[in-house]
Structure 1
């Protein structure tokens, strides 16, 4: 709890502080019970003091965090860093540091391991450092690190550069410089590059979902509450739609189809039937087209207004779907696009949703071209990588504000 938190997430710090405070409170209760002093302590006083003191600790940590970020963004309380990297990845790191000055890291030089002549000719700009010196000689770089008392050296190298990494560890073994390895895993990973321990061994997450089970609890609670409220509030509309479908065309009210859920687990999705009953060839799903003769008059209205999706609140209640998430596609389409669109199947690392970041950005309806699916997947992966509870609330609000009319649906 008392370690340096520079460059680390505020949420992780607050979680650790809260856990430590709960441990202190639990220890106090245990001591009072063991020493038979429970009657001497007012329960109301204990509850109030616990809540107030806990809140003050959290607020004080937040204020300190904000104060440090403000100071660091103005150039105070900095740690100087030297970066070792190649071409694009070094630029990516520098751009990230420039966007987040509150982290408190100032790059002072770069050792380019790629021999990029354009990089050396132009230098690299930085928000506070101006033109950043770019070196290409190992010994010159080490001398500069020692002479200027640089605090940290970041090795932004591919995992295959084991020899180069060892060379730096060996050369700086007698210097009080923090060496950090920031592996360039962009060609392999889709989500995050976070370190974690598995069976006591260090590992780098390449394709694991960045959303863990603990983070999903607020989302799960919101899903159940929102779906229940929606089904109750929309019950008259649901009944009216069911009657309209049943009286205007033959067949069931609901259309069901197998889709993939979280981690590829199959489930049956529910929709209001919008087409006349027809047979499909085995293993083939024909997407609806404009002026499709299979679509009924009621179905055309339902599809245009997205009201055919309302029964999916049942899927949310059953735990197969979420209110917000990547839209699930027909399994036949999954088989088609998984080899055509990079990262397509990683959309299923979380529960699919009724609405999503791609949908509120205009990517709804049929996907007739690979380019459209690529754009949709890009938005879906952005959502997964940047997920937060408030991001979900934002998407729900945009969905409601924009309405349900979809000019791309037919």
Structure 2
């Protein structure tokens, strides 16, 4: 890889924008994935009927079974190939190759399953071949056109991510140039940060150095940056390790350049910035199809559960109202996805409603508990309104439990990697909870154990893992002697 910097090429940085900037669809990857799925299914279905019409064949129920098999196989193979993930940091041929592989697997599976399960199909072989060929061409062309469209809107700044570089090195300069040369990636270069004095910095980079590395970390903590590229020399291994530990207290996506092995990677994946390879060190598992599947899981389960518990919730609400003064629902500010504050609902179980800078955890025989508050907390019935939070998209059924903002600010200072819990949405139940880590955390070690389980969940996430946690919650997660 050529890391030489042309001193005649000016590296310009954009001023840092507020955390609300970044375009119309920066955080709408889930919507894009769903949109791509719908278009793909429309293309496959349209050309199926078009091929039948071209050969003058009427589509009957048996023929529709073949279409159904094809659609199901397409979705399964697409998930396996990760066709619906974010392709922002990848080249167009890679995306088109993934689409071609997906369709090839789909054709093979359709023909194989169709041979065993579909008989006397009305479509002749030429019509099926026309359907396969036309769908393939359409799937490739529409992706290419959409890709070009996204490139154009990213160049105009409508779908951009804010980035900074740590390390005023030739490698860092090359990354900055590649970001600027590849505007279609939608990554805005905001500047370089380095601890060295101006007399030790390369002349061509002096105007782009905005401050010290600590300033960069503080920006990330304020959610003013989306991507952090670490471009320090390999000899600075200890310094890089320290920076990574500091970055773990942020929700920015962190990439190390050049590529080398790191321990404790959180959903590590490669990203391409022009011709530079970057390793994502702290990233979310919910990109592309995974994001859609997770959201479908949350919506389906929350609707089903709310339907079952609607009457019990009304009874609990009446009991809360009759046994103590105050509102039925307690609303508390907590940190959600990417460390942004969300409002979480609970049935009120205490006479006070702490929601400020200091929040005292519930303890055994707590005098603040209402007449039924202890029972609600021990049985987790006070958490039932959070299924509404799931429908709102603020929470998930399964994920790290959200803590009060005051507790977050306390523990992020003393537990390394604490804020990495917020790379995913908080959950009603979680891997830590079904392993007995609920209730009061009177020692730091207990919270450390929770964080370890939470990060292990993020490492291992799958739909089946979620189902396992839900199953364990139903049988041993609701009742807990440590919940006061």
Bigger CA radius of gyration = 1
How many Å separate the matches in 2 of 1:390 and 1:197? 31
Q: Which position in structure 1 is the counterpart of 2:383?
A: 309
| Maintained 8 Å contact 2:344/2:386 | yes
Task: Give the TM-score, by structure 2 length.
Answer: 0.51
How many Å separate the matches in 2 of 1:292 and 1:262? 31
TM-superposed CA distance for 1:345, in Å, is 0.5
Q: Which position in structure 2 is the counterpart of 1:106?
A: none
Aligned match of 2:352 in 257, 277, 283?
Answer: 277
Q: Which position in structure 2 is the counterpart of 1:345?
A: 419
Give the number of the structure with larger relative contact order, counting CA–CA contacts within 8 Å between residues 6 or more apart.
2
Q: 1:279 to 1:228 in 2, by over 3 A?
A: closer
Pair 1:37 & 2:31 matched:
no
Pair 1:235 & 2:297 matched:
no
Pairing 1:305-384 to 2, within 5 Å after superposition: 305-384=379-458
Deviation by residue 1:133-161 (Cα, 9 ceiling, x = unmatched) = xxxxxxxxxxxxxxxxxxxxxxxxx9717
Q: Which position in structure 1 is the counterpart of 2:339?
A: 264
Q: 1:401 to 1:254 in 2, by over 3 A?
A: same
Q: Which position in structure 2 is the counterpart of 1:183?
A: 260
Q: Where does the alignment leave 5 or more consecutive residues of structure 2 unmatched? A: 1-36, 74-105, 113-231, 237-257
Deviation by residue 1:350-370 (Cα, 9 ceiling, x = unmatched) = 110000000001111121211
Q: CA RMSD in A?
A: 3.4
Pairing 1:86-235 to 2, within 5 Å after superposition: 160=234, 183-186=260-263, 190-198=265-273, 201-235=276-310
Q: Where does the alignment leave 5 or more consecutive residues of structure 1 unmatched? A: 1-17, 62-157, 163-180
- Match of 2:304, SS state, is helix
| Number of residue pairs aligned between Structure 1 and Structure 2 | 274
- Match of 2:349, SS state, is coil
Q: Which position in structure 2 is the counterpart of 1:136?
A: none
How many Å separate the matches in 2 of 1:261 and 1:377? 15
Q: 1:278 to 1:373 in 2, by over 3 A?
A: closer
TM-superposed CA distance for 1:211, in Å, is 2.5
Pair 1:57 & 2:108 matched:
yes
| Maintained 8 Å contact 1:324/1:355 | yes
- Match of 1:206, SS state, is strand
TM-superposed CA distance for 1:296, in Å, is 1.5
How many Å separate the matches in 1 of 2:322 and 2:291? 41
| Maintained 8 Å contact 2:69/2:110 | no
Deviation by residue 1:225-248 (Cα, 9 ceiling, x = unmatched) = 211222221122111111111111
Q: 1:364 to 1:192 in 2, by over 3 A?
A: same
- Match of 2:473, SS state, is helix
